[in-house]
Amino acid sequence: MTLGRYIYIKQTRLAYEEAANIKFIRRSTSIPVPRVYLAFHIPAWAFWWRRKWCWSQTVSHTSDAYIFMERIVGQPLNAETWLSLDEVARNRILAQLRSYISEMRVLPPPPSTTIGSVRGGAVADDRLAQGWTPIMDFDISGPYLDEADMNLALRLQQPLSQFGPSVMESHQRSHSLTFTHGDIDLRNIMIQDGRIVALIDWEAAGWFPAHWEYIKAHWVPVSREGERLWREHIGEIMAPYELERKADLELLDQLSRR
């Protein structure tokens, strides 16, 4: 929702984490992101009256969290818009994304092996939460001690020996930690006049193994022609990790049949 012409208010699951991610990217790179003005949580008990004064319902309800940020002038890139752009505009957008992801890749990671937000906290990631019972209906995951801990969570705590060769090979590999947006999808790319004016939605961002950006860029189901054509360009804007992507699909398939 907007507050006047210049402020956008986002209700998000992890306001402090996402705000910190955005501020870090704004401070450390040339990637265009909204300016963050304020992030805060309103505790559940503050709205006790909304739950008909029932304390049991109140304590089981999540806190309301908000980020007040700059309102970006532009429109989200979608399948129809992508198809409507000429080749020059498409190539320009791909070149911008390639440059932005390259900037994130060279950011020096912290000395810790912890996988999570820039503050070392949790992230809101639908893939990481896949198969787990959501806590209070929110897909909040992490942080993880290291890549092995994250892989174990992806396997729902099941031993690696129970999975196929692709999963075994992928989960035995060691990947460097790189700063990752975690949701490079058309809807999170704001454009104006055929150029990117902002990357938005940083609630899944943080320090992750190098292959995670590629896996997540393929995570959202494709249902339209424009989305399918967009997917064909993902390997142009970031390093491909096909073995890891196929292993993740195999892992999800095996887990779904258990």
- CATH number for the domain that contains residue 105: 3.90.1200.10
Residue 189 domain flag: yes
Residue 12 domain flag: no
Residue 19 domain flag: no
Residue 138 domain flag: yes
Mean pLDDT, rounded, for 246-251: 97
What is d(CA 58, CA 152) in angstroms, rounded to the nearest whole number? 33
Contact 59, 51 (CB under 8 A): no
Residue 6 domain flag: no
Structural domain boundaries, residue 125: 74-256
Q: What angle do CA 226, 229, 232 make, to 5 degrees?
A: 150
Which residue matches tokens 């501020």? 23
pLDDT digits (tens, 9 = 90+) for 24-67: 999 999 999 999 999 998 776 665 555 554 444 434 445 578 99
Contact 128, 203 (CB under 8 A): no
21 phi/psi in degrees, rounded to 5? -60, -45
The dihedral built from the CA positions of residue 231, 97, 201 and 226, taken in this order, carries a sign that is negative
Contact 113, 208 (CB under 8 A): no
Domain count, the chain: 1
- pLDDT band, residue 23 (cuts 50/70/90): very high
Residue 143 domain flag: yes
Residue 35 domain flag: no
Mean pLDDT, rounded, for 112-130: 94
Q: Are strands 7-11 and 2-3 parallel, antiparallel or unpaired?
A: antiparallel
172's CB contacts (< 8 A; 6+ apart) are 160
Least confident of 91-105, 177-191, 194-208, 217-231: 217-231
- The CA-based diameter of the chain, rounded to the nearest angstrom, is 58
Q: What is the H or E stretch that residue 65 is in?
A: strand 64-70
